[in-house]
Every structure is written in C-alpha cells, then in structure tokens.
Amino acid sequence: MSSRLTVIAGPTAVGKGTVVAHILAHHPEIKLSVSATTRQPRPGEVDGKNYFFLTHENFDQLIEAGDMLEYATVHGTNKYGTPKQPIIDALARNEQIILEIDIQGARQVKAAMPDAKLIFIAPPSWEELVRRLTGRGTESAEEQAQRLVTAREELAAQSEFDYVVINDEVARCASEVVDLIQA
Ligand code: 5GP
C-alpha cells in the first residue's frame, strides 16, 4: 500500500514547488501532504495550506508524541516535518500522495516505508541552479549562501533515490514524474 506514497526531493531552488504545483493542478487524484514548519510564513502563504506554521515548542511536542513520520532541520535553522496521521489516512483511502521534503526526510521515509518511491528532481546544471536561487529574490544574501551549501550536499545524494528527473522544463518534468508516480 505504501507504494502509493511518493517522495519528491531535490536541491533548493530546483523548482520542486513549481513542478509539484503543476502536477496537482493537472491531476486532482494526486494529493500533497501538508508539512509542518517552524519557519515564518512568506507573503501569501496560508497556514494549513502551504504549511502548518508552528512554534518550536509545538513542533517538539509533535515529535515527542511520535506524531511525525519524518522531520529534519533544514538550512541549519528551522525544523520541517510530515505529520504522520494524514499519511496513514490517505494510504488507507488508497490515495496517491506526494511528499515534497528534504533529503534527510526522504531517507527517514524510505527507512519507515521501504515501498515508498523516491524521486530526485535535478537541475540541468549547477550554474542553472545558482541562477534560479539568486533570481528568486525571496532570501537574503546570507540565506542564499547557506542554501547553496545545502544544495551541494543535496546534489551529492541523488544516487540514493529510485529515480532522477531533470527539471529542464516544468510541464515535461511534471509529466515524467506523474508517469513514475502512476507506474
Ligand atoms: P521552504 O522554506 O523553501 O518552504 O522549504 C525549505 C526546504 O524544506 C525544502 O527543501 C523542502 O523540501 C523542505 N521541506 C518542506 N517540508 C518538509 C518536511 O515536511 N520534511 C522535511 N524533511 N523537509 C521539508
């Protein structure tokens, strides 16, 4: 049953969010797990839709209660995690569910649910990744530098994944990912 669970990961700014949004818009049968995070909402982000925005204290309570399928500290600052119960419920309903999470989280999901499919979204090149990260303009220079350090480590982990899909063009990448999800 857990083969209906797909983990999508990849380096920061590779465009995972755009690919996932494209998939959700065109495939209503595929559902996205809403993560919890301790980071502040960005302009336009909605609590319960983009993330569950939690205090560090509330986040730690969920970990202690065993309510997180996986969690990780990302970019050296904030915690992000997947609430466990919605995943169990979705799998029980036989839904196709995707998790858009970081590499550390992907490893934890694979350990907990070996049948989960792990898909790595890769950039066409390192130069293109840097261009996308600096062009986005949502992070300070300091945050961008930290995210590039993380991105280098993340790129090195792609061999641990079941599939690698290059995000050269959003619609093409999304369609390849959907084929893998539904294979
Ligand atoms: P952002 O702050 O840009 O929304 O996300 C930063 C990073 O956190 C992204 O690489 C994203 O994949 C990761 N992330 C988001 N949700 C989760 C989660 O539930 N668990 C883990 N491990 N990582 C997450």
In this predicted model, what pLDDT tens digit does every residue of 132-146 receive, in sequence order?
Answer: 888 877 788 888 888
The mean of the pLDDT values for the chain is 94
* CB distance 10 to ligand 1 below 6 Å: no
Residue 50 CA: which ligand 1 atom is closest? 4
Total domain count, the chain: 1
Over residues 91-137, the pLDDT tens digits come to: 999 999 999 999 999 999 999 999 999 999 999 999 999 998 888 77
- CATH at residue 134: 3.40.50.300
CA atoms of 138 and 152, how far apart (whole Å)? 20
Residue 81 has pLDDT above 90, yes or no: yes
Query: How remote is the CA of residue 74 from the centroid of ligand 1, in Å?
Result: 7
Choice from 20, 40, 102 to test ligand 1 binding pocket (greatest atom count within 8 A of CB): 102
Over residues 135-178, the pLDDT tens digits come to: 877 788 888 888 888 889 889 999 999 999 999 999 999 999 99
* CB distance 102 to ligand 1 below 6 Å: yes
Residue 74 has pLDDT above 90, yes or no: no
Residue 1 has pLDDT above 70, yes or no: no
Protein residue with its CA nearest to atom 22 in ligand 1 = 105
Residue 104 CA: which ligand 1 atom is closest? 22
User: H or E stretch including 112?
Assistant: helix 103-112
Domain range for 153 is 2-182
* CB distance 84 to ligand 1 below 6 Å: no
Residue 2 has pLDDT above 70, yes or no: no
